[in-house]
Amino acid sequence: MSIKNKLALGIESTAHTWSVGIIDFSGNVISLANDMFIPKKGGLHPVLVREQHLNNFMGVINKALSEASISIRDIDLIAFSKSPGLGPILKIGAQVSRLLSQLLKIPIVAVNHCIAHIEIGRLMCEIEDPLTLYVSGGNTIISAYESGRYQIFGETLDIPIGNLIDSFARDIGMPHPGGPKVEKLAKDSSKYLSLPYVVKGMDLSFSGLYTAAKRLLESKDYNKKYDLSDVANSLQETAFAMLTEVTERALAHTGKKEVLLTGGVAANKRLQEMIKYISNEHGARYEVVPLKYSGDNGAMIGWTGVLRYKATGGNIISDTQINPKERMDQISIPWRKGGA
Ligand code: AMP
Ligand code: MG
């Protein structure tokens, strides 16, 4: 491949996935390589994830470089996810990136992971100013760009939607990631069992829903009056209706003309259907991020790094510390109109 444009190497390292994406400064993804930690049992144990990432990080970088048919010396910019996420895992991405930037003498940009999920959606869907529903294993955020920031209109008060689905899947013996398996199960049912629907103002709470779904599996009626598919269907219907309600209210409030569905859970066809429906109702254009870029990936980090670099240049090395709890509405967005 002949590549004339400048190139960024983006490193994603907030949780389960170590991912490296190479993207040019115009937004063409040149290559993408991933390594995902899949727990044998239980949730994500940071020490075990860290070990896997430490063992595999160079192999994934090399795979991305070789797929792009370039050497590390051809890279012009390093970008990495500095927030939010699990501290020990964020640290690996930060350390590898700082090392590469200094060894290669190229600029570095620290990127907020949630903003990267929005920016890859804007790029891939060619959408300018959407109201965004960002749903993943670690986050559930309804946001839109206003007054120089990605303002948060609604979010989960406890567990994220992906985590709810993965925990439920784990309880029924389905390995991580549970989302696609629960979706498949739910398709076999059209029965709805009543479950707690908790929307507080513009925020959402999923923990009561999780407990209630678990109780349905332990009840004497289980496999008599209803089956596993019915519970999976009811869980999805309740959680997705909650997300849809808040997204619709944010859409009405902001008056945005576009809606973007992004993050790993965006792969779900039933959720897509619901969000598309309310977008149409409000005369807004609906887009969902392509499957390849819906989950955590290095291309989205690379691209967000390019946007920031083009607007304000790279970070000085002392400004590349990780920040596991950083909220995306704390960050100014200099690459968008009105951003500083
Ligand atoms: P991310 O954290 O953005 O990498 O996304 C991973 C999350 O997306 C996990 O919680 C998965 O279970 C979830 N996910 C992936 N595919 C689907 C699907 N088809 N339906 C629901 N959730 C999904
Ligand atoms: Mg994510």
If asked whether residues 254 and 309 sit together in one domain, one would say: no
Predicted confidence (pLDDT) per residue in 24-47, tens digit: 999 999 999 999 998 887 778 899
112 and 152 fall within a common domain: no
Nearest residue (CA) to ligand 1, atom 2: 137
Q: Are residues 274 and 304 in the same domain?
A: no
The pLDDT, as a whole number, for residue 4 is 67
In the reported structure, the alpha carbon of residue 69 is separated from the centroid of ligand 2 by a whole-number distance in angstroms of 28
If asked whether residues 281 and 153 sit together in one domain, one would say yes
Q: Quick check: 81 pLDDT over 90?
A: yes
Ligand 1, atom 12: closest residue by C-alpha: 179
Q: Which of 37, 86, 265, 294 has most ligand 1 atoms within 8 Å of CB, for mutation? A: 265
CATH number, domain containing residue 136: 3.30.420.40
What ligand is nearest to the CA atom of residue 288?
Answer: 1
**Binding-site residues, ligand 1, Cβ < 6 A:** 17, 136-138, 162, 165-166, 177-180, 183, 263-265, 267-268, 295-296
Q: Are residues 100 and 215 in the same domain?
A: no
Q: What is the pLDDT of residue 196?
A: 98
Report whether pLDDT(203) > 80: yes
Q: Are residues 215 and 280 in the same domain?
A: yes
Q: Residue 13: pLDDT band by 50, 70, 90 thresholds?
A: very high
CA of 271 relative to ligand 1 center, distance in Å: 12
Instruction: Give the per-residue pLDDT at 40.
Output: 81
pLDDT in tens, 258-313: 999 999 999 999 999 999 999 999 999 999 999 999 999 999 999 999 999 999 99
What DSSP string describes 216-263?
Answer: HHHSTTBTTTB-HHHHHHHHHHHHHHHHHHHHHHHHHHH--SEEEEES
- Which token pair is 8? 């960024």
Choose among 299, 288, 267, 304: nearest CA to 137.
267
Q: Give me ligand 1 centre to Cα 162, in Å.
A: 6
Residues 158 and 202 occupy one common structural domain? yes
Q: What is the pLDDT of residue 42?
A: 76
Residue 145 confidence class, pLDDT cut points 50, 70, 90: very high
Question: Is 338 within a domain?
Answer: no
Nearest ligand to residue 182 Cα = 1
Average pLDDT of the residues in 115-137: 97
pLDDT given at position 175: 85
Separation CA 121–CA 288 (nearest Å): 7
Q: Quote the domain boundaries for residue 87.
A: 3-119+295-330
Query: Is 340 a member of any domain?
Result: no
Q: Could you tell me if 283 and 302 lie in one domain?
A: no
- Residue 232 lies inside a defined structural domain of this protein: yes
Number of domains in the chain: 2
